[in-house]
Copies of this chain bind each other. A is one copy, B any other.
């Protein structure tokens, strides 16, 4: 941590900073420039809240040097982490993992049909929402526990895993009982109670980046889960809020290599939510894989025009088959398989 003093900071103020640093068991290191004094902190700066120093007299600003998410960082765990998800399925290894299914579970018929469609393309992880976070209270909110059962049955029939969202700590036990992977949605990335609740399970977690959250904050959200002993966390870029109105969100493709650099946790891309329109899902899915993503999560519906939610961004069977074919070829081009 580097503390930049104001140009008019007094010697007394600098001494105050140094004293404060030493009082918490770290060492200070002064650098006297022409126009500013800089105080460096020697020791584990992750133990220090930068705001504590920002509040001190004479301080202009505080620059963090280390990424605050220690357990998530590649410094801490240099080798790519390959997560076992069950039934022989992994994420983070050489194969790109595809997770696919409908936005919401609407009933057994729709889900079974979708499961057949995605399984026919070799997909091993079935996605589907049972508890749905919806912007409007008047929109379809999901089937809840009944939806979980439908998911479980369809997956078991086809020897698939289930990934589904959990939106409340209260629901964690029931979701953890039925699902193989717990998804934390973008709107709950900074719901720290929920992060702690899933951190206390031993289920793999798919953690989506908040739509207004930085990459650093995503890593710190993962840190909540890792810190509680649950080491199986995959991170998902699903589009951020920008000024561009032509798509629902803006997929931050840079985030893929940036995250691969900062962390060894697996990275997933969600082209469905990032674009909001089926016609753009294929190109963005290919881009995600080309950029180095370890997985994709994609919305598929047997009849998108009849979907109860997210129909516009759900791929119908033929488009999904085309996407899978293209994704396989792009993955092969960079030396990876698709699972």
Chain A residues at the B interface, C-beta cutoff of 8 Å: 2, 4, 7, 29, 31-36, 38, 40-44, 46-47, 49, 51-52, 54-57, 63, 65-66, 68-69, 75, 133-140, 167-171, 187-188, 190-194, 210-217, 220, 223-224, 227, 239-247, 250-258, 260-261, 274-275, 277-280, 283-284, 286-292, 304-305, 307-314, 326, 329-330, 332-334
Contacts and interface: CB of A to CB of B under 8 A. Distances in A.
Contact of A250 (B252, B274, B309): B252
24 contacts: A7-B75, A31-B31, A31-B40, A33-B41, A33-B65, A46-B136, A46-B138, A51-B307, A56-B311, A133-B190, A133-B192, A167-B191, A188-B191, A191-B191, A212-B212, A214-B246, A240-B242, A240-B244, A240-B250, A243-B243, A250-B254, A251-B254, A257-B275, A283-B292
B35 A66 contact: yes
A208 to B, nearest CB: 12
Given A193-B167, A284-B253, A65 B40 contact: no
Contact of A274 (B254, B304, B312): B254
A311 B54 contact: yes
Contacts of A329: 333-334
A272 to B, nearest CB: 12
Main secondary structure of the interface of A (DSSP, over half): mixed
Contact of A187 (B33, B190, B254, B256): B190
A168 to B, nearest CB: 4
A188 B212 CA distance: 12
Contacts of A256: 283, 287
Given A65-B33, A191-B191, A212-B241, A253 B287 contact: yes
Contacts of A211: 212
Given A36-B65, A44-B34, A212-B240, A137 B169 contact: no
A4 B305 CA distance: 16
Given A210-B212, A284-B254, A51 B261 contact: no
A258 B241 contact: no
Given A167-B193, A254-B274, A305 B242 contact: no
B257 A314 contact: no
Given A66-B36, A290-B289, A334-B330, A55 B284 contact: no
A63 B65 CA distance: 10
Nearest to A50: B312
A65, A68, A254: most-surrounded residue (chain B CB, <10 A): A254
A140 B49 contact: yes
Given A51-B309, A307-B55, A75 B35 contact: yes
A170 B171 CA distance: 11
A175 B193 CA distance: 15
A224 B137 contact: yes
Nearest to A216: B246
Contacts of A210: 212
Contacts of A307: 51-52, 55
Contact of A290 (B7, B227, B290): B290
Contacts of A134: 192
B192 A167 contact: yes
A211 B311 CA distance: 27
